[in-house]
Amino acid sequence: MPSLQLPIGIQSFEKIRNEGYYYVDKTPYIAELAQKGSYYFLSRPRRFGKSLFIDTLSCAFTGKKELFSGLYLERPESGWDFEKKYPVIKISFAQRVNRSSAELSEYLTRIISQEAAQYGLSIDHSISSGFQLEDLIRELFKKTGNKVVLLVDEYDKPILDNLHNQKVALDLREDLKSFYSIIKDLDPFLTFVMLTGVSKFAKTGIFSGLNNLKDITLDSRYSAICGYTQTDLEQIFTEHLSRFDKDEVKRWYNGYSWTGESVYNPFDILLLFDEGTFKPYWFETGTPTFLIKLWESNPRLPADYEDLIAGTDLLGSFDPEHIRIETLLFQAGYLTIKKWSADPIRGFTCWLGYPNVEVRTSLNTLFAEILSKQEISKNREMLYDILEREDPSQVHTIFSSFFASIPHDWYRKNQLSQFEGYYASIVYTYFASLGYEVIPEDTTNKGRIDLTVKTKTGIWIFEFKVSDSPSPGVDSPLNQIREKKYREKYESDGRKIFEIGIIFNPMTRNIDHWEVQ
């Protein structure tokens, strides 16, 4: 049995180091950040280890050398001097949901008071929280003779908690803007500042004046600053990983990338190792209802999120007044950077996609249920069995039955059904929810396959058409598959190939023709 405990949900570096928990050494990043700059911003999705990293920074700057035994920061080459101890102010917005300016002000006053009390100081409760912070920083510098370290965790949580109420979200944004603006005039008293959160609000001016705040979110050197790498799993969690198929673990949970090395979400991995079962642990901890409602009100075909082209305008900022669902999906961790390029003419461009099986299956299950207004769990299990039996006629039966069961009135009420790709999207989301490799717009040397699905034993090639007066023959989707020789791409694969042409009829709202080769 492993001698160390799994640090599930633990955000205290001191507890992890003193009470026998696994720890993935992130201290090389601390040394590098301290050497190269003073003001940093980092955006990462929830449950990726931001709070633990902030707490580790706090322990390092306060000189708790005993906690770093055996870690990089203890080595001479790190350049870290534990004899040099700094006063640290740590502000976290993670502990409470603030629903008004008054609640936020009360919360900040409480935190700043607690931070001041640690150093034997008190604050003036009659002034704004921003001035309270300013006074504390100045007093700490005066008392200790050392510059201050300011660490802010989940800086944007008050706004994100209230996205469903735009007025409150905008009020809190202005409150935070005023609070953070105090920092810009305190440079003579600060040695290191780091803010972390899920979203970036650069274009809304929340960090107005903090023009020296370096955003390392998409810096490839820091892609693995939070999360576990493949090497981490193989070298640190060796005993736990040996109980599983390493490739399946990677397929299910790896794949998050910010232009550099890809990582696993720690929450997923720790619960997998603890429970021993493949489950969507991270996804189930809080997919926001707001995000799903936003997607439903501003629909985009789910297949579009595979290889979605984006630039810094989409990735780099978030505006509560004009929310872009793609920005929210990326910053929240439902999409990640699959590849990217940058040159002097076109600038930065990246291709987004689902990071792994967990997110693809879970999110597309939700999409399928929104598209059809039905729970799909029963049909998913049936479809698994049918695909493994390699029975295309039963695949036809299950989809025909499913389309027939969608309430007639739903089409009138929901704009999603007006998309030409609506029917194909239901097919796509169903297959994507199964965990198989699903490739929309699959490129060949003769054209593009509408949808390719790879099971353990078969390659399923689908071509779709929509027509209220279908005329099979020359115009049939199966003929297109044959004429463009789509199967040639997979003939060397070794798996059985199924070619299926489907014609949807928007009048009957179902499949009119199902052709199989």
Q: How large is the greatest C-alpha to C-alpha distance in the chain, in angstroms?
A: 86
- For residue 353, the one-letter residue type is G
Condensed to tens digits (0 to 9), the pLDDT of residues 6-48 reads: 999 999 999 999 999 999 999 999 999 999 999 999 999 999 9
Give the whole-number percent of the chain exceeding pLDDT 70: 93
User: What pLDDT score was predicted for residue 297?
Assistant: 76
Given a cut of 60, is residue 2 above it in pLDDT?
A: no
Per-residue confidence band for 1, with pLDDT thresholds at 50, 70 and 90: very low
Name residue, tokens 């570096």: 13
- For residue 288, the one-letter residue type is P
Given a cut of 60, is residue 473 above it in pLDDT?
A: no
Given a cut of 70, is residue 331 above it in pLDDT?
A: yes
Closest to 49 (Cα-Cα) out of 67, 66, 24: 24
Alpha-carbon 37 to chain mean position: 27
Q: Is there a contact between 21 and 3 (Cβ–Cβ < 8 Å)?
A: no
Q: Both tokens of residue 29?
A: 């990043």
User: What pLDDT score was predicted for residue 407?
Assistant: 73
At residue 406, the 3 state secondary structure works out as: coil
d(CA 277, CA 474): 49
As a whole number, the mean pLDDT across the chain is: 90
Q: Is there a contact between 203 and 317 (Cβ–Cβ < 8 Å)?
A: yes
Q: Is there a contact between 201 and 317 (Cβ–Cβ < 8 Å)?
A: yes
Given a cut of 80, is residue 475 above it in pLDDT?
A: no
User: What pLDDT score was predicted for residue 414?
Assistant: 63
CATH architecture of 375-516: 3-Layer(aba) Sandwich (3.40)
d(CA 293, CA 206): 26
Q: Both tokens of residue 386?
A: 């049918």
- The fold adopted by the segment(s) 13-222 is Rossmann fold (3.40.50)
Q: Is there a contact between 86 and 137 (Cβ–Cβ < 8 Å)?
A: no
d(CA 36, CA 34): 6
Name residue, tokens 């598209």: 371
Per-residue confidence band for 418, with pLDDT thresholds at 50, 70 and 90: low
Break the chain into its structural domains and give their ranges.
13-222, 230-284, 375-516
Alpha-carbon 196 to chain mean position: 15
Q: Is there a contact between 500 and 463 (Cβ–Cβ < 8 Å)?
A: yes
d(CA 276, CA 273): 5
Condensed to tens digits (0 to 9), the pLDDT of residues 186-229 reads: 999 999 999 999 987 654 567 766 667 899 999 999 999 999 99
User: What pLDDT score was predicted for residue 285?
Assistant: 85
Which of the pair, 242 or 373, is modelled with greater confidence? 242
User: What pLDDT score was predicted for residue 204?
Assistant: 52
User: What pLDDT score was predicted for residue 294?
Assistant: 81
Give the whole-number percent of the chain exceeding pLDDT 90: 63
Condensed to tens digits (0 to 9), the pLDDT of residues 98-151 reads: 999 999 999 999 999 999 999 999 999 999 999 999 999 999 999 999 999 999
Buried b (16+ CB within 10 A) or exposed e, 255-272: bbbbbbebbbbbbbbbbb
Please state the rounded mean pLDDT for residues 458-470.
Answer: 84
Range of weakest confidence among 171-180, 183-192, 363-372: 363-372
Q: Which residues lie below 8 Å from residue 18, measured CB to CB, with a gap of 6+? A: 67
Which of the pair, 28 or 510, is modelled with greater confidence? 28
Closest to 133 (Cα-Cα) out of 161, 165, 155: 155
Condensed to tens digits (0 to 9), the pLDDT of residues 52-89 reads: 999 999 999 999 999 999 999 999 999 999 999 999 99
Q: How many other C-beta atoms can be found within 10 angstroms of the C-beta atom of residue 194? A: 25
Range of weakest confidence among 48-62, 240-254, 342-356, 405-419: 405-419
Per-residue confidence band for 474, with pLDDT thresholds at 50, 70 and 90: very low
Q: Both tokens of residue 447?
A: 């054209």
Q: Could you tell me where the DSSP H helices lie in 373-506? A: 377-389, 392-404, 408-413, 422-432, 477-483
d(CA 260, CA 197): 19
User: What pLDDT score was predicted for residue 288?
Assistant: 66
Q: How many other C-beta atoms can be found within 10 angstroms of the C-beta atom of residue 248? A: 11
Strands 214-215 and 496-505: unpaired
Given a cut of 60, is residue 160 above it in pLDDT?
A: yes
Which of the pair, 279 or 404, is modelled with greater confidence? 279
Given a cut of 80, is residue 389 above it in pLDDT?
A: yes
